[in-house]
């Protein structure tokens, strides 16, 4: 069985590239708004790797990582936050809480990456979440989220990606075409040992057309 530290280290090395994310956010925000973004809110932030790296950019940058689960946050505090300088730590805050709740700050940028908002299975819930994000942005704030789709995402299959020291498996275990609800798992193989269901995702898959309509209902357009 994987330890907690092993599990999150494998996850981050398999599915996250925080440096590329930060470069993309900075480039696109300045392109859209004509200035640099400084305050980032990472929803469903998990270990807070992106948020910690954001705060480390300069003395003007601040970041908040929000997540309900204390386990990945503890890993992040031990392995990412601990590596920040004392001054940087003052500009980075982990919030163990619900992304649907009001916060005491407004951000230039809010991100919901790795399809984390798929946890909301009804249109009403997703409109509520997108509305909360909009209300928590500054007047020229920008909401970044990613999406995946295509016919293969609706098929029960396992995709393997080989890394230097391990293999990563993305497993669509179940997909209901009537509701678009799906069950995904992440497995890892290290050496000759395969670690099944290291992460589990009980989601609804949202399409681009649906998301555009929901964002319109939430006041973005």
* Predicted local confidence at residue 152, as pLDDT: 82
pLDDT for 155: 87
Q: What is the pLDDT of residue 149?
A: 81
Strand partners, 201: 184
Residue 135: the pLDDT is 97
Using 50, 70 and 90 to split pLDDT, how confident is the model at 2?
Answer: very high
- The pLDDT tens digits for 157-177 are 999 999 999 999 999 999 999
Q: How confident is the model at residue 108 (pLDDT cuts 50, 70, 90)?
A: very high
Judged against a pLDDT cut of 90, whether residue 73 lies above it is answered with: yes
| pLDDT tens track for 114-150 | 999 999 999 999 999 999 999 999 999 999 999 988 8
pLDDT digits (tens, 9 = 90+) for 171-195: 999 999 999 999 999 999 999 999 9
Return the percentage of the chain with pLDDT > 70, whole number.
Answer: 100
Q: Mean of the pLDDT values across residues 104-108?
A: 97
For residue 111, give the nearest of 65, 57, 43, 50 by alpha carbon: 43
pLDDT value at position 154?
Answer: 83
Strands annotated E in 123-177: 137-145, 158-162, 167-176
CB 63 within 8 A of CB 54: yes
How far does CA 116 lie from the centroid of its chain?
5
- Cβ proximity of 199 and 186 under 8 Å: yes
Q: Pairing between strand 167-176 and 158-162? A: antiparallel
- Which residues does 44 contact at the CB level (< 8 Å), separation at least 6? 66, 67, 99, 112, 113, 114, 116, 117, 119
How far is Cα 189 from Cα 162, in angstroms, rounded to an integer?
A: 9
Report whether pLDDT(21) > 90: yes
Residue 86 pLDDT exceeds 90: yes
């Amino acid at each position: 069985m994987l330890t907690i530290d092993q599990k999150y280290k494998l996850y981050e090395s398999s599915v996250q590239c925080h440096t590329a994310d930060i470069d993309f956010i900075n480039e696109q925000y300045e392109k859209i708004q004509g200035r640099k973004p400084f305050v980032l809110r990472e929803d469903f932030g998990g270990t807070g790797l992106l948020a910690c790296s954001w705060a480390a950019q300069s003395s003007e940058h601040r970041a908040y990582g929000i997540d309900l689960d204390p386990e990945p946050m503890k890993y992040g505090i031990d392995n990412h936050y601990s590596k920040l300088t004392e001054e940087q730590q003052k500009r980075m805050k982990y919030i163990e809480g619900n992304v649907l709740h009001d916060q005491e700050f407004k951000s230039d940028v809010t991100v919901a990456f790795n399809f984390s908002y798929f946890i909301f299975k009804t249109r009403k819930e997703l409109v509520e979440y997108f509305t909360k994000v909009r209300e928590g942005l500054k007047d020229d704030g920008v909401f970044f989220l990613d999406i995946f789709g295509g016919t293969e995402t609706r098929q029960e299959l396992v995709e393997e990606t080989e890394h230097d020291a391990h293999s990563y498996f993305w497993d669509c275990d179940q997909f209901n075409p009537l509701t678009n609800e799906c069950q995904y798992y992440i497995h890892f193989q290290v050496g000759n040992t395969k670690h099944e269901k290291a992460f589990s995702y009980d989601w609804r898959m949202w399409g681009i057309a649906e998301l555009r309509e929901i964002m319109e209902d939430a006041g973005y357009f």
